[in-house]
Amino acid sequence: MTSALVIATAFFIYVVLSTKSNHVSLKGFDKVKYELNKYHAERYWGIFVAALLIWFWILGYPWMPPVAFESALLQSQNIHTVGVTAGQWYWMLDDRGSSQNANDTNVNTNNNQLYVKAGETVKFIARSIDVNHGFGVLSSSNQMDVPLFQMQVVPGFDNIFYYTFKKPGIYTIKCLEYCGWNHPYMVSSITIHAA
Amino acid sequence: MVGIIPTWFLALQYTQRESEGHMNKDHPLLDEYNLENGPAPLYRISKDLSDLTLMFIISSVVFFLAAGTLAIIMRTVQSKLILLGNQQQTIGMFYAALTAHGQLMFFGFASMLTVGLSYYLLSKFAKKPLYSMKMSIISYSLMNAASVLLIVSAIMFFGGGWYNLMPLAFHPQNGGWNIFSTVLFLMADTSIGIGLVFFCVNVIATVLKGNIAAGVQVSEPDEGGLFRASSDINDSGRIDLIPMINLPASTRWVSALGISSWFPRKYRKAVPAVSIVVVGIFVNAVALLSGTVGLFTQLGMGFGYLLNPDFQPNWLLAKDAFWFFGHPIVYFTLFSFLAAAYYYIPKFTKKTVPYDKWAYRSWPFYFIFAVLVFSHHSYMDMPNPVFVQTVATIASQAVIFPSGLTVMTIMMYLLRSKIRWNISSFFIVTGIAGWVYGGFTGAQTGWWGTDVYLHNTLNVVGHIHLVILMGSVLLGIGLVYGVIADLTKKRLSKTLGMVHLLTTITGGFGLAFMFTYLGLFGVIRREAIIPDQFMWAMPWLLFFALTVGFGQITFAYNLFKTLGRKTTIEEQLFVTNQEERASSEKDLIHTGESST
């Protein structure tokens, strides 16, 4: 993005500089515009922008959550289901065990001791008991917490996200959607164990 | 920070030109006046509409200052410079300020300014009076009442968030805001919605009912074989010289939405375009009218829940419904002003360019995508149907296509032109740059795959500030500098205008780019308590916010001082000259006096 901003700035400066060129005659000015028109500059510019967008869309297609989820499910033997309950202003996580069937969500509801291993595909099923929350899992690196992934926890729905933790460690769970005055304090964590 | 460079560079050019003395030696006073003020179409709007436009501008400036004060309160709390009673109350104040800041900026300032200028521009460029002045006054009254209610709810510490993510407004918890403040807030949003409906209906009726002035669509070769727009005869404007015509009702929609620009040449002649400014305002009005359905759906669910807590609405639908309104309202401010830029920039450059049909070709796409992109705000709502998210991704990316055409066309207007650099043109051209920068950040977050990382980080806040503050607001302020001269026959101070420009650019770009890059490092937005590792950034954000604030206070002082003083000799000379010019071209000038 920085490159795009720099290129755009350079282009703006060029255009502005061109307005200062007093030596350019009116005829010369019109000539440039005429040439651009003659060679259908805007038509080709339009085609170029449209092609660029299509290319970006194809490039980004595998990153879209449902496509990425399908890919994760295909690569994983077991799906580890974790239930998440969100309320003002706390998180509660419960372990629902592993299953080969992604639709099987209640394998071991009595076991609240969460034990997730690195490399496992985790299926988070989040529910809110009151308002909208944002289930954000952050990784700590260079003393900064950077979002790894997130989803909204909309009340009245099962909000589902699949994620595979690659490295063991303690990950911060933070509410990323404003949910009232104590929203900044709605923090928890999840420990990922070595495989 | 890169955005600051071109503007400072422009300002230096301006200063240099001033010292070189580019004045017309025959009529120095007149030429200086023209240099400092925007061009205006010759059509005379009614006195009532002129006064109402001025009132819209004044109200928007007042609410801009109020919303800016709230922003400075937020930055001060984050910098840990004030403590109100205890920590809890201070955090409450932050969220009340956050809620009212967002709503006031969108509704009290940006929408107010857009509605006011749209009425003015529509009447000017359609060369006809508005369908109903009463509806205009009702929309003004409702929007003002709503803005006052928003301020009152903020004083009562209402902190439901500026996009009112229900059902939070009804669940303050732990001694938060009073439910009465929630009612005031919902009433404010209802008033805004009704006010905007009056505006949209008024615009649509004005365009579709009766005669309307045609715009330029076909460029014609001149004697030298180069292309010129036929409306440029006597340099009186690209658009406003073709006489009024009667468009058949069946083709009026096609013309007003800019669809005819995609027709082959012979069919384009059969379905002439109306003014590009009218097209822009009409497209936005239709899109916004569709969007208000979303707002009323959300508010209906909210009032239902308020009256009967056992009523359990579908909160996902409420959220989607709000954004169905929320995105068109953002585009409404931006695209309406962009449409005006199509007229004002060529007037400043005094050049003709053979790109007319391309100026129109963006608008049908803007209309489609303004309505479709709403759900990219809810990419992270996993229960949403996949097809909605996919359409939103495609639409969010595809809006770049018409934007790319607009940027290319406007750059062609500017390229190698001898533009009159004045405060108005500075603001408009910088607003285009701010919009382009905001477009890059928008393309980044408007993608479902990257939004997983960037959603609800300060990156999104950076995008909003680039598009709104440095895009549409700069475009709007640039228009105000031009329009004030036409409305009051007085000109704003050039020196104060330059202070306004440079402080707004420096503070605004500083603020927006800091937000953008802090977001890329993962700083979460809407946090009253900032993590220690990012505290270094808070004094900078406060500094930039204060810089923007100083600029707006300068602007308000300039505006009110100008409105309060008498016209100068130089300004009277200009008015006399304009009257003479008008009477010599009276067949082209129409007045809206009889309609009001």
Q: B569 — contact with chain A (CB < 8 Å)? A: no
Q: Which residues of B touch A149 (CB under 8 A)?
A: 452-453
What is the C-alpha radius of gyration for chain A, rounded to an integer number of angstroms? 26
Interchain pair B227, A37: CB under 8 A: yes
Q: In what order do the strands lie in the sheet with A90-99?
A: A90-99, A79-87, A121-128, A159-164
Mean pLDDT of chain B: 82
What is the reported pLDDT for A110? Answer: 46
Nearest to B456 among A56, A177, A185 (CB): A177
Q: What is the mean pLDDT of residues B44-54?
A: 91
Answer yes or no: is pLDDT of B150 > 90: yes
What is the reported pLDDT for A65? Answer: 78
Q: A20 — contact with chain B (CB < 8 Å)? A: yes
CA–CA distance, B518 with B507 (Å, rounded to integer):
16
Q: Which of residues 374-413 of B touch A (CB under 8 A)?
A: 378, 380-383, 386, 389-390, 393-394, 397-398, 400-401, 404-405, 408-409, 411-412
Nearest CA of chain A to the CA of B520: how many Å? 9
Q: A141 — contact with chain B (CB < 8 Å)? A: no
Q: B19 — contact with chain A (CB < 8 Å)? A: no
Q: A64 — contact with chain B (CB < 8 Å)? A: yes
Residues 6 or more apart whose CB falls under 8 angstroms from that of B18 comprise none
Q: What is the mean pLDDT of residues B440-467?
A: 87
Residue B202 φ then ψ, to 5°: -60, -45
For residue B41, name the pLDDT band (cuts at 50, 70, 90): low
Distances in whole angstroms, Cα of residue B580 to Cα of each of B31, B102, B484, B574: 16, 46, 20, 10
Nearest CA of chain A to the CA of B224: how many Å? 9
In terms of Cα–Cα distance, which of B130, B133, B140 is closest to B107? Answer: B140
Nearest CA of chain B to the CA of A160: how many Å? 6
Q: Which residues of B touch A50 (CB under 8 A)?
A: 401
In terms of Cα–Cα distance, which of B334, B291, B287, B329 is closest to B438? Answer: B334
In terms of CATH, what superfamily is A79-193?
A: Cupredoxins -  blue copper proteins (2.60.40.420)
Q: Where are the alpha helices (DSSP H) in B80-224?
A: 87-103, 112-126, 133-155, 179-208
For residue A7, name the pLDDT band (cuts at 50, 70, 90): confident
Condensed to tens digits (0 to 9), the pLDDT of residues B273-327 reads 788 888 899 999 999 999 999 999 999 999 999 999 888 899 999 999 999 999 8
Euclidean distance between the first and final Cα of chain A, in Å? 37
Q: A23 — contact with chain B (CB < 8 Å)? A: no
What is the reported pLDDT for A106? Answer: 52
Interchain pair B448, A60: CB under 8 A: yes
Condensed to tens digits (0 to 9), the pLDDT of residues B2-34 reads 555 555 555 555 544 443 333 334 443 344 434
If one compares B289 and B251, the residue with the highest pLDDT of the two is B289
What's the token pair of residue B590?
């129409």
Q: Which residues of A touch B389 (CB under 8 A)?
A: 64-66
Answer yes or no: is pLDDT of B227 > 80: no
Condensed to tens digits (0 to 9), the pLDDT of residues B579-590 reads 665 555 444 433
What is the reported pLDDT for B196? Answer: 97
Q: What is the mean pLDDT of residues B152-157?
A: 94
Answer yes or no: is pLDDT of B449 > 80: no
Mean pLDDT of chain A: 81
Q: B449 — contact with chain A (CB < 8 Å)? A: yes
- B330 contacts B467 by C-beta, under 8 angstroms: yes
Interchain pair A176, B455: CB under 8 A: yes
If one compares B84 and A26, the residue with the highest pLDDT of the two is B84
Nearest to A32 among B98, B416, B524 (CB): B416
Residues 6 or more apart whose CB falls under 8 angstroms from that of B549 comprise B68, B69, B71, B72, B507
Q: A18 — contact with chain B (CB < 8 Å)? A: yes
What is the reported pLDDT for B457? Answer: 92
Angle between helices B4-20 and B494-520 (to 10 degrees): 160
What is the reported pLDDT for B371? Answer: 84
Domain with CATH 2.60.40.420 in chain A: 79-193
With the C-alpha atoms ordered B58, B61, B67, B73, is the resulting torsion angle positive or negative? negative
Condensed to tens digits (0 to 9), the pLDDT of residues A32-85 reads 666 666 667 777 888 888 888 888 778 777 877 778 888 777 777 778 899 999
What is the reported pLDDT for A140? Answer: 73
Condensed to tens digits (0 to 9), the pLDDT of residues B253-266 reads 888 888 888 887 77
For residue B220, name the pLDDT band (cuts at 50, 70, 90): very low
Interchain pair B522, A157: CB under 8 A: no
Q: A115 — contact with chain B (CB < 8 Å)? A: no
Q: What is the mean pLDDT of residues B98-116?
A: 95
Q: What is the mean pLDDT of residues B493-497?
A: 91
Q: What is the mean pLDDT of residues B96-125?
A: 94
Q: Which of residues 216-245 of B touch A (CB under 8 A)?
A: 224, 226-227
* Burial of residue B34 (number of CB atoms within 10 Å: 0-12, 13-18, 19+): middle
Give B375-396 as a 3 state SS string.
HHHHCCCCCCCHHHHHHHHHHH
In terms of Cα–Cα distance, which of A56, A54, A74, A90 is closest to A175? Answer: A90
Query: What is the maximum span of chain A, computed from C-alpha positions, in angstroms?
Result: 83
Please report which helix (H) or strand (E) contains residue B254, including its range: helix B249-256
* A89 upstream amide cis, omega within 30 of 0: yes
Condensed to tens digits (0 to 9), the pLDDT of residues A113-135 reads 688 888 888 999 999 999 999 99
Answer yes or no: is pLDDT of A23 > 70: no
